């Protein structure tokens, strides 16, 4: 009997994980956005409540993906990543350690994916549809409450991966 219950529990957890994966996969759009701001442009031009379609690269920190909810650090396309430097053998090229620290800090935004009710989706998004550090993506959403020029917060409802 215990074996049967264990098998059921394993089946249920696999089913829950598949449901989470399907839900996260639905965030990935197949439609290329016609217009998007760079991260730096978004920092300069957008304010809380504005619609935001922003293009950048996932990275700018050693661990750019958030583990407890769907989100990541989006960094301006103009930031120099280590993989763009010949002869560089950096093990974490997505962290932006080859860029000037002040430039890096002024070129990042935090992206959190939210559900239809505006709540963060409580599951990491790294690896969904192959999503990884250094991917160029465009996110669609709005500028969140609490956002500042020094800490741009984007609540996103979809992303397009190039």
Higher pLDDT, 91 or 73: 73
**Residue 4 pLDDT class (50, 70, 90 cuts):** very low
Domains and their CATH numbers in the chain:
2-161 (2.40.50.200)
Residue 17's H or E segment, with its range, is helix 2-25
* pLDDT (mean) for 83-107: 88
Helix (H, G, I), strand (E, B) or coil at 158: strand
What percent of the chain is predicted at pLDDT more than 90? Answer: 69
What is the pLDDT at residue 154?
98
54 contacts 36 by C-beta, under 8 angstroms? yes
pTM: 0.85
pLDDT tens-digit readout, 7-41 = 444 444 334 344 444 568 889 999 888 899 999 99
Q: Which helix (H) or strand (E) holds 56?
A: strand 51-58
Q: Are 76 and 39 in contact (CB under 8 A)?
A: yes
Q: What is the pLDDT of residues 96-143, one digit of tens each?
A: 998 999 999 999 999 999 998 999 999 999 999 999 999 999 999 999
What pLDDT is recorded for position 85?
Answer: 84
Q: Band the pLDDT of 153: cuts 50, 70, 90.
A: very high
More reliable by pLDDT, 6 or 51: 51
DSSP string, 94-142: GG-TTS-HHHHHTTEEEEEEB-TTSPBPSS--TTGGG--TT-EEEEEEE
């Amino acid at each position: 009997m215990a074996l049967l219950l264990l098998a059921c529990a394993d089946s249920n957890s696999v089913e829950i994980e598949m449901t989470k994966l399907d839900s996260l996969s639905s965030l990935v759009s197949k439609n290329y956005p016609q217009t998007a701001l760079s991260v730096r442009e978004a920092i300069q031009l957008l304010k809380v409540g504005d619609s935001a379609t922003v293009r950048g690269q996932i990275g700018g920190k050693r661990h750019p993906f958030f583990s407890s909810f769907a989100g990541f650090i989006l960094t301006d396309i103009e930031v120099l990543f280590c993989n763009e430097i010949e002869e560089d053998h950096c093990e974490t090229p997505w962290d932006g350690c080859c860029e000037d620290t002040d430039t890096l800090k002024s070129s990042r935004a935090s992206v959190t994916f939210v559900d239809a009710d505006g709540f963060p989706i409580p599951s990491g998004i790294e690896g969904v549809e192959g999503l990884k550090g250094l991917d160029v993506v465009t996110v669609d959403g709005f500028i969140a409450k609490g956002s500042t020029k020094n800490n741009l917060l984007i609540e996103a409802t979809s992303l397009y991966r190039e």
